[in-house]
């Protein structure tokens, strides 16, 4: 039986606490965790890297989205930087919207100038311009819809389909809709 989104959202993480049997997952406030022995860390050692509370939320998000996993970050810009760090290496091409969030634009431009990757800013609402950019075989296509701050909407499904045709990974930043 397939569970509905609302059921997943309400029930995810319930009765998962094997250590104490908590029905509702507790909020773990500890910043550091002890090791079981010298150089023998537990699942968590420092909360900046992860903690049990974040694990519960990440599992819930993955289940809601039908994904294999999820990663929470503390800001949208850290998420954007993480994605480029994971998927791009020097010489790889990132295709990004020409009207993306200014912070994203400056980050991409700065890292491209430092040789971390190449970036091409394109009007993703212009199919011809998008296809021309995709002809360069990007590794990553960032879509921002609605765009920030102009609120321009593009066809996410179409862009992702076109990106997939050239083997690119698509990442969608939908800050205003989430």
What is the structure's pLDDT at 3? 76
> Quick one: which H or E segment has residue 134?
helix 127-134
CB 73 within 8 A of CB 85: no
What is the structure's pLDDT at 1? 57
What is the chain's pLDDT, residue by residue, as a tens digit (178 residues)?
577 888 888 878 777 777 778 888 888 888 888 888 999 888 888 887 888 889 989 999 999 988 999 999 989 999 999 999 999 999 999 999 999 999 999 999 999 999 999 999 999 999 999 999 999 999 999 999 999 989 999 999 999 999 999 999 999 998 888 7
What count of other Cβ atoms lies within 10 Å of the Cβ of residue 124?
28
Pick the CATH number of 76-177 from 3.60.21.10, 3.40.50.620, 3.40.640.10, 3.30.1180.20: 3.40.640.10
* Residues whose CB falls within 8 Å of the CB of residue 104, separated by 6 or more in sequence, listed in order: 77, 80, 96, 142, 144, 173
**pTM of this structure:** 0.81
CA distance linking residue 115 with residue 60, whole number of Å: 37
What is the structure's pLDDT at 116? 98
Give the residue extent of every domain in the chain.
Answer: 1-72, 76-177
CA distance linking residue 77 with residue 68, whole number of Å: 23
């Amino acid at each position: 039986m397939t569970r509905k989104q609302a059921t997943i959202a309400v029930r995810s993480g319930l009765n998962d606490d094997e250590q104490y049997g908590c029905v509702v997952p507790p909020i773990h406030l500890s910043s550091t965790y002890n090791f079981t022995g010298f150089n023998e860390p537990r699942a968590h050692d420092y909360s900046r890297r992860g903690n049990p509370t974040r694990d519960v939320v990440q599992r819930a998000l993955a289940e809601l989205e039908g994904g294999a996993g999820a990663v929470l970050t503390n800001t949208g810009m850290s998420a954007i930087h993480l994605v480029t760090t994971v998927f791009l290496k020097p010489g790889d091409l990132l295709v990004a919207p020409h009207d993306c969030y200014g912070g994203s634009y400056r980050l991409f431009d700065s890292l491209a100038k430092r040789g971390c990757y190449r970036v091409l800013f394109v009007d993703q609402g212009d199919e011809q311009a998008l296809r021309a950019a995709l002809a360069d075989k990007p590794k990553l296509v960032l879509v921002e819809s609605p765009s920030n701050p102009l609120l321009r909407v593009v066809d996410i499904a179409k862009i992702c389909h076109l990106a997939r045709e050239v083997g690119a990974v698509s990442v969608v930043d939908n800050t205003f809709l989430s």
